[in-house]
Structure 1
Amino acid sequence: MSEEKKTKPKRSSQGPFSIWHGMKISGLYNLMKLGPQLSWTKAGRIALLPPMALYNSTMAAVESLLYGRRIRETEPVAPPIFILGFWRSGTTLLHNLMDSDPQFTTTTLYQTVFPWHFLTTQTVASRLTAAFIPESRPMDNVRVGWDVAQEDEVALCVMTQLSPYLMVTFPYQFEIIRRYIDIEAISEQDRQRWCSALDTLIRKVTLRTPKQLVLKSPSHTFRIQTLLKMYPGAKFIYIYRDPFDVFNSNCHLRQTMATENTLGENPKGGFEDDVIKWYNEGFTSYQTNKWSIPEGDLCEVKYEELAADPLGQMNRIYEQLSLQNVDAMRAAIEPQVEELKKYKKNKFDRDPHWVKEVYQRCRAAYDEFGYPPPNDGQIEAA
């Protein structure tokens, strides 16, 4: 067993609030049709669902009246830049670095939790409710705020319920989680609804801040073909990390995010096998579909190199993708470098059994990305 101190789950500071409080009445109905477990221990969280759904439906109608025509007429400034990579591979670090560049914009936490009406409510509501937002994310030490970059998958889950992020309230129903990871595999009606939601979200964010969007969602790693069809000329950045570090952090992520957002009893672990399966599915999907991305529109980044040399790796990304305004990017990121070095990563035990299991079952990823096998002591201890 490693001597590193294992990171303990944080105590929730979201109180009764969760991702589900951004849905409209129709979304709440769709969620309940799936039959989530409900527990009296989450009574406050559950009790807020109907009034919040009514509020969101009302404000969505107001926003449609005020901005509907302008939203429909708004076009993206340029095809988006999509950040891909399995969960806990460093996508957030890369997202925040890209968002530092003033030529880009992205979806914020407020916009993703309240996608139906942020054009109408964000300016006032985000200030009034800022005190309810935790200082950092529940699964790590990344800063949180209504105005901080957030992945668009949260908004897509709130808008459509066609998202693997259903996992946070169905932690052990893996068939539900898998159902919406590949948009090409769902029904035509659901696919159109999902594509319409992403299109609307991009138009609304562009209307509020008319700049090229940088969107980060690990789920999009499975959706390359769909994104290429929707946004010809889009650029992609794929980030990868040591598979065992990804595995360890994902098990922690599943437990933490379900605890923060479930409507039922808190899960009791046991995600290891599914995390490995899902990791391999994501690896295979990316390796298969990346060849569809035109030359010059894809850049691959190693997390460990980005963390060690953010400026050098960002320079390489900009050069490989032919992105402009490198000097402005450097000026924005240089002041952050020292602070990034001080960032405290989570530390987890390296259970010899799972060290061996991950290496054996994810060997293709180790070989492809050039990570060495675990040392003999860890293998033998298993």
Structure 2
Amino acid sequence: MADEKAASPRKPTHDETGELPPYRYDPLKHRWELKLNFMSGVTLGPWLAFLWTHWRDIHWALFWHRVAFLSAMSVVNSVLALFDWALHSRSVAAQALHPEPLFILGHPRSGTTHLHNLLSRDPAFAFVNTFHAGFPSSFLTLEPARGLLAGLLAPTRPMDRMALSWELPAEDEIAVNVLSGCAVSPYAALVLPRAWRAGGGGAGGGAGGAGGAGSERAGGGVVGLRDFLDWDWEGEEGEEQQQAGGEREGAESAPAAAAAVVEKEQRGRHSSSGSGAAGGKSGGAGTAAAAAPAAPAAPAAPAAPAAAPAPAVAAGEAAAAREQQQQQRWRQRRADLRAAAFARWLSAFKWFMKKVTYRHVRQHQSRQQQRQQPGGQPPPQPQQPQPPQPQPPQQPPMLLIKSPVHTARLRTWLALFPRARFVFVHRHPVEVFQSAAHMADSYYPYTYLQAPDDATTNDFIMDQYELMYRSYTSHRGAVPPGRLLELPFAELEADPLGALRRVYDTFGWSDRWEAVAPLFGDYSASLADFKKNQFNRLSPEAEAVVRRRWAPSFAEFGYS
């Protein structure tokens, strides 16, 4: 692994190049808090694997109490998960998923939560709630007693003061991160933030998830957690082209040097073979004139010995070849880790969404039975026995799925759900950065097991936006007509019902509007007294960096 780490391309950080927005954070402000930690639902197996892999990366002196708390919770969760598995695993495995889910896409702090909360009022949707996401291994058994765990929440979200409860919609990626033990999700960066970039080490030279391979720490030189944001990749070349606009750099420099050496050798061989061909043509001409006596040939001059390559040239070629082999091994190792991570992530995602769908189907069936049996009395039996009638298969409920990281996975979703629908919410990039930085300062410290510096946190925010935007705009053209709506947050904020009407008209659900509009209106009315965060204007230096690095999104969505 030493050669792989040495060969991994490393670009200067934005802190080193002077491009980092001068925004400061306090990662220890909630150091002693145990609530609002999305890892509270982890089970013992993934948790022990996490500790085994990352014991050197945890800042034990700062966060030992969180490790102890999560260790205790993992034991309780494992016991409850056994009941879920024994009672429901076969039914969950057999549960079908609706082929046309609705995905809400957009960078964090773009208004996706507001739209998620609104659309979840439509009873046609099945959605992940906060309890499902927090306790994915045991929520079927534990959900009736969720009130006992109210102390793990706060009345409002720390970053925006929106109401928080177990019943409100939540992000499915939280559950995937919990199920994998921080192994295959970018959300693990909120636990071990220095693992975001490959080579950004923690206390032991690297931190982060194992990428599903179990033997490699993300952030340790081969992969970073940012590599698990976008599953649409082809080795290293795709990412390099995206980051540099197609220009080869970093890992590509050594292969290019080796290719130049090979090209030089091939030119020498072609030159020699070309001379031989010319000689053959001359010989052919002499054969054609065989009637004339041939003049005696002059004795051939002795061939000059081939010049030995200069020692410096030979050493350079050998070094280039070794460098190329190291880069190939590094890229292959990186590809293997990411492929293993994707398989593990996909398995966790499918299982969790089947489990959520199964829970909604059971809940719907229970409500139907209650309506059919008023007063708890059994329905009257028919006078004559009737032959059983074949029942049409029940269509699973349509899934309403929202996690900001899914914005970078559009191609993956189209492969899994070709008939999926998408709403992409966008907001002024400067406002997005202000709100994202505020969230990093007000919420992330509740989940850290490793304290980041300001540069690490800023890199996380800036990189995430760039990667999401680049991937989304690259693949949105593949979405079939009528299945993608791009919605400005300003429109959603100013006229929620009008924005929702656009969603329903775009996706052919106009016939349902009259039934669901009152539900949306009631929720909107409940927010009448809600006051949105007001931020001080960014410094000119910080805003200049945001405008430079996120310039394509300013132009694409018409923001000044």
1:13-28 superposed matches below 5 A:
15-17=33-35, 18-28=37-47
* Residue in structure 1 matching 2:344, options 169, 193, 198: 193
SS at match of 2:425: strand
SS at match of 1:183: coil
**Aligned 8 A contact 1:251 1:275 in 2:** yes
Q: What CA deviation, in whole Å up to 9, does each residue of 1:168-225 have, x standing for no partner?
A: 1222332233021123445333222211111111111111113321011010011111
- State the distance in 1 between where 2:549 and 2:33 align: 38
Counterpart of 1:166 in structure 2 is 188
* Residue in structure 2 matching 1:31, options 26, 41, 50: 50
* Residue in structure 2 matching 1:83, options 64, 83, 104: 104
Q: What CA deviation, in whole Å up to 9, does each residue of 1:282-335 have, x standing for no partner?
A: 111110011121111111100011000000010001111123511122110112
- State the distance in 1 between where 2:526 and 2:100 align: 31
**Aligned 8 A contact 1:109 1:146 in 2:** yes
Counterpart of 1:74 in structure 2 is 95
The residue identity in structure 2 corresponding to 1:40 is A
> How far is 1:50 from its partner?
2.0
Give the alignment's TM-score, normalised by structure 1. Answer: 0.89
Does 2:402 match 1:220? no
Question: Larger deviation: 327-336 or 218-227?
Answer: 327-336
Gaps of 5+ in 2: 1-24, 198-223, 234-336, 362-396
* Residue in structure 1 matching 2:415, options 229, 233, 246: 229
The residue identity in structure 1 corresponding to 2:191 is T
> How far is 1:367 from its partner?
1.2
**Aligned 8 A contact 2:105 2:425 in 1:** yes
Q: What CA deviation, in whole Å up to 9, does each residue of 1:28-74 have, x standing for no partner?
A: 13422144322334332111222222222222222111001110111
1:122-141 superposed matches below 5 A:
122-124=143-145, 126-141=146-161
* Residue in structure 2 matching 1:352, options 517, 535, 540: 540
> How far is 1:157 from its partner?
0.6
- State the distance in 1 between where 2:341 and 2:76 align: 25
> How far is 1:107 from its partner?
0.4
The residue identity in structure 1 corresponding to 2:227 is R
1:78-117 superposed matches below 5 A:
78-117=99-138
The residue identity in structure 1 corresponding to 2:487 is V
Identity %: 30
Counterpart of 2:71 in structure 1 is 50
> How far is 1:13 from its partner?
11
Counterpart of 1:337 in structure 2 is 524
Structure number with greater CO (CA < 8 Å, separation at least 6) is: 2
> How far is 1:14 from its partner?
9.3
Does 2:424 match 1:238? yes
Counterpart of 1:376 in structure 2 is none
- State the distance in 2 between where 1:99 and 1:229 align: 25
Gaps of 5+ in 1: 1-6, 373-382
**Aligned 8 A contact 1:171 1:254 in 2:** no
Does 2:199 match 1:181? no
Does 2:177 match 1:157? yes
> How far is 1:268 from its partner?
5.0
Counterpart of 2:500 in structure 1 is 314
**Aligned 8 A contact 1:97 1:333 in 2:** yes
Does 2:513 match 1:326? yes
**Aligned 8 A contact 2:177 2:187 in 1:** yes
Counterpart of 1:3 in structure 2 is none
Please give the root-mean-square deviation of Cα atoms over the aligned residues, in Å: 2.3
- State the distance in 1 between where 2:144 and 2:460 align: 40
Counterpart of 1:364 in structure 2 is 552
Q: Rg: which structure is higher?
A: 2
Q: What CA deviation, in whole Å up to 9, does each residue of 1:95-140 have, x standing for no partner?
A: 001101121121011100110111111112x121224420111211
> Structure 1 284/261 Cα, relative in aligned 2: closer, same or farther at 3 Å?
same
Question: Larger deviation: 320-329 or 308-317?
Answer: 320-329
> How far is 1:10 from its partner?
12
- State the distance in 1 between where 2:46 and 2:65 align: 19
The residue identity in structure 1 corresponding to 2:34 is P
- State the distance in 2 between where 1:89 and 1:96 align: 14
Give the alignment's TM-score, normalised by structure 2. Answer: 0.61
**Aligned 8 A contact 1:184 1:191 in 2:** no
Counterpart of 1:269 in structure 2 is 454
- State the distance in 1 between where 2:535 and 2:142 align: 40
> How far is 1:251 from its partner?
1.5
**Aligned 8 A contact 1:255 1:268 in 2:** no
- State the distance in 2 between where 1:325 and 1:250 align: 35
**Aligned 8 A contact 1:36 1:169 in 2:** no
> How far is 1:273 from its partner?
4.6
